[in-house]
Amino acid sequence: MDLYQSIRHLTTRLDEAQLVYAVIGGMAMALRGVQRATFDLDFLLMFSDLEVARQILGEEGYTCIYQSENVSHYQKQGDGLARVNVLHAFRGPSLSMLRRAERLRLGNECLLPVVKIEDLIGLKIQAAINDPGRAPGDWSDIYRLVIHAGESRQTLDWSLINDYLTIFQSESKFSELKDLYERHL
């Protein structure tokens, strides 16, 4: 089974179980128009749906290799998706991300809930702050998202982006991001 088929199959199972989730990470960036190589699936999942998701993933051959209060990581041997990473949504900001998610097309037959660009930026800011070793790559992704939004004339919610920057004491980046966006309009 190829990557597309694996994603489609797994997300169809999540949808059939009526779980509340949204795609994040590299796949979300690609669905938002910013290409990035990825061979896993990252998604944000309503915490109350975690047990059902764990059961579905187990039925699909995934083994939970790590779980904390905030995240779960699943791995599978063989074809398709090698890894699925689940961010548990139970705090206000992540619950709001789920409410704002939009269904976007992957291929001809698959509509996936995907977090908004502003929320991807927020998650990337959090990742950069939480793991300084990842910061250069995460900030590069943020810049690419902002440039793409400007070039494609997408309106961004700058208040929301500023909220994320403020949460992670990165307010000094606000002007830089807004200027970058405006230069690419």
What was the pLDDT predicted at 57? 97
What was the pLDDT predicted at 108? 87
3-state secondary structure of 165: helix
Name the class of domain 3-115: alpha beta
What was the pLDDT predicted at 1? 57
What was the pLDDT predicted at 12? 96
Give per-residue pLDDT as tens, 146-171. Answer: 999 999 999 999 999 999 999 999 99
d(CA 63, CA 2): 19
pLDDT mean for each 10 residues of the chain (185 residues): 84 97 96 86 97 97 96 89 94 97 92 98 97 96 98 98 97 98 97
What was the pLDDT predicted at 36? 80
Strands 102-106 and 110-114: antiparallel
Domain ranges of the chain: 3-115, 118-183
Specify the amino acid at residue 16.
E
What was the pLDDT predicted at 80? 72
How many angstroms separate the Cα of 148 from the Cα of each of 15, 30, 105, 161? 29, 11, 18, 15
